[in-house]
Amino acid sequence: MPDVRPLNRTKYNITKHRFSELYNFCLQYKEWKDELKYKTDTVKSIEISELPKGEGEAGNPTQELALRRMELEKKCKLVEETAMAAGGVELYPYIMKAVTEEGITYRYLSMIMNISCSKNTYYERRKKFYWLMDKKKE
């Protein structure tokens, strides 16, 4: 976690390691979106159809792919809904960018994306995001 400090444990009741778990969970968002976008065919989804099966299990690649896609969609939706709850419509895109990509600072958001709030407001909303994510992932 190069650029992101853990939350104040006293205020948010999130340990350093739990914060690290949440932080890294959210960084997988782009991987999940890519998998949803590109892995749509069971024939091409080799690792899903080649998963080891128990004795007597035939395996259904289509069902396994559908279950995997449902799991990924659920994770993406969790991140998206939490960002919306923390930042509202106005700050949603900035919160999403910050929690799903490494190295996104307020300075970047201000200079490149023209964020429409103060530095303090942004950091409070980002903290709120992780606090909400902690509650939702319990």
Q: What is the pLDDT of residues 29-44, one digit of tens each?
A: 999 999 999 887 765 5
Q: Digits of tens for pLDDT over the chain (138 positions)?
A: 445 666 666 677 888 899 999 999 999 999 999 999 988 776 554 454 555 555 555 568 888 888 999 999 999 999 999 999 999 999 999 999 999 999 999 999 999 999 999 999 999 999 999 999 999 988
pTM exceeds 0.85 for this model: no
User: What DSSP line would sit under the chain, residue for residue?
Assistant: --S-PPP-HHHH---HHHHHHHHHHHHTHHHHHHHHHH---TTT-HHHHTS---TT----HHHHHHHHHHHHHHHHHHHHHHHHHHHHHHHHHHHHHHHHSTT--HHHHHHTS--SS-HHHHHHHHHHHHHHHHHHT-
Sorted by where each begins, the domain ranges of the chain are 19-136
